[in-house]
Amino acid sequence: MIADKILVLAAVVFGGVLCQWGAWRIKMPAILFLLVAGILAGPVFNLLDSDALFGDLLFPFISLSVAVILFEGSLTLKYHQIVRLRGVVQSLVSVGVVTTWLITATVTRYALDFPWSLALLFGAITVVTGPTVIVPMLRTIRPKASVANILRWEGIVIDPIGATLAVLVYEFILAGSNGRAFGHTLVSFAMLLSVGLLLGSLAGYLYGLVLRSHWLPEYLHNVATLALVFMVFAFANHLQHESGLLAVTVMGIWLANMKDVPVDEILDFKESLSVLLITVLFIVLAARLDADLFLSLGWRAIFVFLAIQFLARPLSVMVASLGSGLSWPERHLLAWIAPRGIVAAAISAFFAIKLEETGYSQAGLLVPLTFLVIIGTVVLQSATAGPIAVWLGVAEPDPKGVLIIGANHIAQALAKALKREGFRPLLVDSSWSKISKARMEGLETYFGEPVSEHAERSLDLVGIGNMLALSARGPLNTAACMHYRMELGYNSVFALQTTATGDLTEERKASSHRRGHLLFNRDVTYSSLAGLFGKHWNLRKTGLTDVFDYGAYLDRYNGRIIPMFAITPRGKLRVFSADLVVAPQAGWSVISLVPPDDSESGLGGRE
């Protein structure tokens, strides 16, 4: 029996990873694939019985998983980033949350004849969106940066807010079911907030001191953080019922904003753990769906979904965007996109189990109703948001952005040249000193590893059309090319050699196709470019004409230049590569690396 459970659990994990991979391949939210896998494994073929698999540990597993997911999300929230979000985002996560909550609760109450308590709880559960569903959708839709940034930050900030609101409503239900007076309920709310805020703040501050003072060896950072999250969550719940989620959220925010606290490696670990937990949790929850309960909702449940999609979301966006600088098409697209994700599913199962234990017979309907909203919002919005964005005129035109792996002096020089021509370079590096220098040059940057879950969620790739791997680390360039060629297309991914082709072994040559196209030509390496920049070679733009064509341009310099980029009359970027043929025509401009004497003499055509 135990061996069978091990096999089932292993199959869940393995199948979940395949779902994540499939979602990444076709740029769709992973929860769709996880949902299908869970339904097929559970209600359809009866291969997975979540209650039998976990037994009495199902509820603790859900509880701790939600705690880790919320802690990981809160660990990404920086005060300095939130302060700048004074407009629509702040309104969406305050007034917008209340608007969505009340409309959803009212429609649920009258459409499905839910008691007000459960209707209010369902409304609180479904106010959350979440970056795990928003980010993959944005990369397919490619809306303008203003819309993309609002949706991304709303998804990050609203998770802990929605979870806290659901906890408060749940506490209200319990207080009411025990016949407590309204005043006692307010006291209970105050205790929940007090315990959650105080314990979370205290744990975050003290643990931040431990990390900042290096009292804990680095190899224990990840495990100790996980243990502390579990302990804070459990102890907070022991002190005050259901205050644990708020406590771990506050703890994460506190750690994220303490100065000189190394949380990057912790965040990387928590991201990987969150992916694993989301993968397993969603399959397990989907497998618990009861087909009879789903059918018992009836056709009236569709009214709840329609109200959320066509009434609650548009109204909350309209209210939140009053007085903002957003155009009406941008507001319309914001009003259409708000998919629900894993946090809503987990919280619904979490509270359904607890309320069923206290005698709420209709509490079991929370899970199928939540999954109905998740399926409806993700499927409908994934299929229609792209064409709607194009129709409204708020989709990005031809990509003008260039993702640059590395923030070294070579990458900064190329980024500045591209920026002067109207392109948007985005430099990615895990070296803070290099990122700081790039920021001082006015360049857009991302601090972190380019191939990570945090980058997957946080990097603004809207409008990015090409990737240039310019790092001095060859394996990093290869990993970045393998990762982003699925996102951008193989012909848009380029890598600078760190070792000349002639110096590679046959085995490495055979595998070099995975690196993407070789930048510039086969003789150019990172070291050779660094040497040329050290000798004061400069980047120069030259325009081509019918008389002074590309052949004449090359002859004029006698092969002493390195062509790097070409820009068409329509402003499209072409990257010179050893593998792709670029044939500049009259009217094009060419950016090349030229010797200092030629760059100063003005040879080679017009600027």
Distance in angstroms (rounded) separating the CA atoms of residues 446 and 435: 8
Q: Does domain 401-601 have CATH number 2.60.120.380?
A: no
Q: Which CATH number describes the domain made up of 2-392? A: 1.20.1530.20
The residue ranges of every structural domain in the chain are: 2-392, 401-601
Distance in angstroms (rounded) separating the CA atoms of residues 577 and 183: 72
The predicted structure's pLDDT at residue 509:
45
Give the pairing type, strands 573-575 and 517-518. unpaired
The set of residues, in sequence order, having a beta carbon less than 8 Å from that of 38 and lying 6+ positions away, is: 48, 282, 283, 284, 285, 286, 287, 289
The predicted structure's pLDDT at residue 421:
86
The predicted structure's pLDDT at residue 570:
83
The string of DSSP codes covering 36-100 is: HHHHIIIIIT----HHHHHGGGHHHHHHHHHHHHHHHHHTT--HHHHHT-TTHHHHHTTHHHHHH
- The pLDDT tens digits of the residues spanning 111-145 come to 988 888 899 999 999 998 866 677 777 767 778 77
The set of residues, in sequence order, having a beta carbon less than 8 Å from that of 451 and lying 6+ positions away, is: 476, 479, 480, 483
The predicted structure's pLDDT at residue 476:
87
Q: Tell me whether domains 2-392 and 401-601 share a fold.
A: no
Burial status of residue 578 (CB atoms within 10 A of its CB: 0-12, 13-18, 19 or more)? middle
- The pLDDT tens digits of the residues spanning 341-392 come to 777 887 888 788 888 877 777 888 888 999 899 888 988 988 888 889 889 8
All residue ranges of the chain with pLDDT < 70 are 1-3, 27, 77-86, 130-132, 139, 175-185, 264-265, 267-271, 397-398, 453, 457, 499-515, 598-607
The predicted structure's pLDDT at residue 510:
39
pTM of the model: 0.67
Identify the helix (H) or strand (E) that includes residue 459: none
**Rounded to an integer, what is the distance from CA 419 to the centroid of its chain?**
25
